Structure formats: structure tokens, C-alpha cells
Amino acid sequence: MRLRDRIFQAVFARLFVYNILFEDSEVDERFFELESDSSVLCISGAGCGVAGMLSRNPRTIDAVDINPHHLALAALKVEGARGRLPYRTFRALLGEGRVDDPRGCLTQLTAELPPWMQRHWRRHAGRFRHNLYEQGLTSRMVRLLRGQTGIDADWLRSLIGQPIDARRKTIDETIGPALRSPLARAITRSPLQLLALGVNYQQCERLQDEFGTSLAEFFLEHVKRLAETDLATNWFAWYFVTGGFAPEGSEGLPPYLRADRFARSREAETRVRFHRGSLFDRLAVAGPSTWSHYSLLDAPDWLDRDSERRLLQEIRRTGREGAIVLHRSVEDGCLFDRHHEGRHFERLSPESSLASALDRTRQYRHVWLHRLASR
């Protein structure tokens, strides 16, 4: 990893950036096919996906992240999904981002978590006093854009009844001027903006190579792609436009927050372990045939070529026969094709194509699924 990416990672690891997972955990649930004997290694991010896995009751989940803010939030979502609070309180805390007594709720939720997580939430209980989803670098960036453009829930509802072309035109007219302004272009070139987007220099270069545009133009096109989905139930669109989730029904919630998943998750016997550190730290201390499933988010996009090769070697060493590997990428190429180690994996092509098409984030070119076929 180059020096500037090492510096980026060191700074990123200390800041509260995300409060939701920017990967479609419902797509992951559909194609990951967890069973009661599954053992998962995953990067936690903000934890929506980790909490969502409980409804499938895998045997173990090892959640790893370099960012303690994200890992602590993931643990909170997991404990909430386990039924430590009544569903109504759980949904208020993590669906609406606020409760009247955040300290009391968090004390109850963190009772069985590691001491450092308990201390973390004693310090940061105030994040739930007003709205968790207004906290963090990403939320602040998006809130600034909402203030400049005037978009809100009513604006989003007005898009729902429009044809796709009309939606894209409305977005271009409403949001385009703000993102094309000299100020926006300057901001999107700054390291702070890369941090807010969770895009390191390596991934930023891949974005520019693939799309041939600035980050501002990429972001505008991303919003237009979001508008091509079912906006009534796309929680990423609601989050972007309103700073929260759709108030009507449960389809517009991340799966772990839905009542049916809550009913299943609270019965789960899954052992969840939280590891503060890098993915490679966790892989290095694991023995052969440790995990049946790997959920890597878009982490491979952060890696240089040597680290990609090392990642495949470690998955091959630690994976069970037939282990499933899921990751996302902003580029058209795939690390499994670039390295000799990739020959030990079988691409699940139909599943990858369908998962990519269904992913609500519209942020990635591909959702890749591979199976460990040989050692």
C-alpha cells in the first residue's frame, strides 16, 4: 500500500464516518445463503449487514474493522437485533436514530459487550439524543448538499410517480448545479471529501479510470442511478434525501430493522465476535478451514496488487471447501482474474450478474460472488 493510502487509512480509522452500511444487505442475504453451520468472516462497516445475518442463524460471525466507531456501532445493531430491547424501542433507536433516554438504552444494550465498547457508548450516547443519522462525516456532507438544493421527503415522493427519464432530468436540474459549482469541485478534490465518502486514493483512481469523471460528476450520476430503482423502498435514496428512512411501512428499512427479521434474529444462537484491526490481522491468526463465508464489502478496491494476491492466498488457506466470497467493486475488472491464485475459485456468474443488477446502492459496477473450488 502506498504511503498516502497508509496515511488515509490511519486517519479514516480514527473518525466516525458512516452510520449505515452502503452495501445492499438484502442482496447479500439472498445470495450468501447462510445456514446454521456457517462461519462468517466479514468487514463490519457500520454493521447493518452483520446484524442482518443473525436472522439466518449462522454458527459464528467474526466481524472486523479498523474503525472503532464503526465496530462499536455494529455491535450495538447486533445487540439490538438480538432483542435486548423491545422492538419499538429498537426501531426508534436505530430506525429513527433517537430515543428519549439514550444513556439508559445504551447501558442495557452494551451490558454484554467488551469493556472498550461500553466506554465508547458512555462517551457517545449523545449521538442518539437528536438523530444518529445526522452524525458522521458522510451525513454532514450529504446534509450540506440537502441544504444547498432544498431536497426533502416531499421532493423524493414527487419523483416516485415520474418515469425514469423524468427523474434523471429533475435530479440534473435540482442537484446538478450544486455539484457542478466551483466550490463543490474543490471540495470533492480534497482529502476530507475522500474520507467522507470512504474512498481512498487507490479506489478514487479506479473510479476515475472506469468512469472518466470527477468525483462530483460521479456522485451526480450515482444519484441518478439511485433514481432508477424502486424509490418507495430504497432506503439508500431515503437516507440521502431525508437523512433517515422511509416512515411508511418496513420495506424501506434495512432488513435488520424489519419486524420479521427481528423476530427471527432474537432467537439466533449465533456467536458474534468483534475484532478491532485489519482484515489481514484476523486472517493471519486463523487456522485452515476456519470460515465458510467471506463478506468483504468493497475493501479489495482499497488494495494494491500485492495485497490483492495476499488476500486470495489467505482466503484459500483459511476457507472451508466450497467457501463463498462476496465483494463489491467500482471497476469492471476483478481481482480473481488478475492473479494466479484466482484459479482456485469458481465465479458464480449468474448470481454475480443478478446481484449486481439488484443492488439498490447503484454505487458499484459489480457484486462478485466466488466459490473456493480447490486448494
Q: Domain locations in the chain? A: 20-81+254-372
pLDDT at 209: 66
Mean pLDDT by 10 residues, the chain (375 residues): 74 87 93 96 97 98 97 98 96 95 95 97 95 91 89 94 96 92 74 62 66 74 92 93 83 93 97 97 98 96 93 98 96 94 97 96 94 87
Q: What nine digits make up the cell of 350?
A: 449468474
pLDDT at 53: 98
CATH superfamily of 20-81+254-372: Vaccinia Virus protein VP39 (3.40.50.150)
d(CA 198, CA 18): 8
pLDDT at 1: 65
Q: How many CB atoms lie within 10 A of CB 244?
A: 18
pLDDT at 250: 72
pTM value surpassing 0.85: yes
Residues 6+ apart with CB under 8 A from 74: 44, 45, 46, 47, 50, 51, 63, 65, 274
| C-alpha triplet 110, 327, 246: angle, nearest 5° | 55
d(CA 193, CA 137): 9
pLDDT at 187: 72
The three-state secondary structure class of 303 is coil
pLDDT at 282: 98
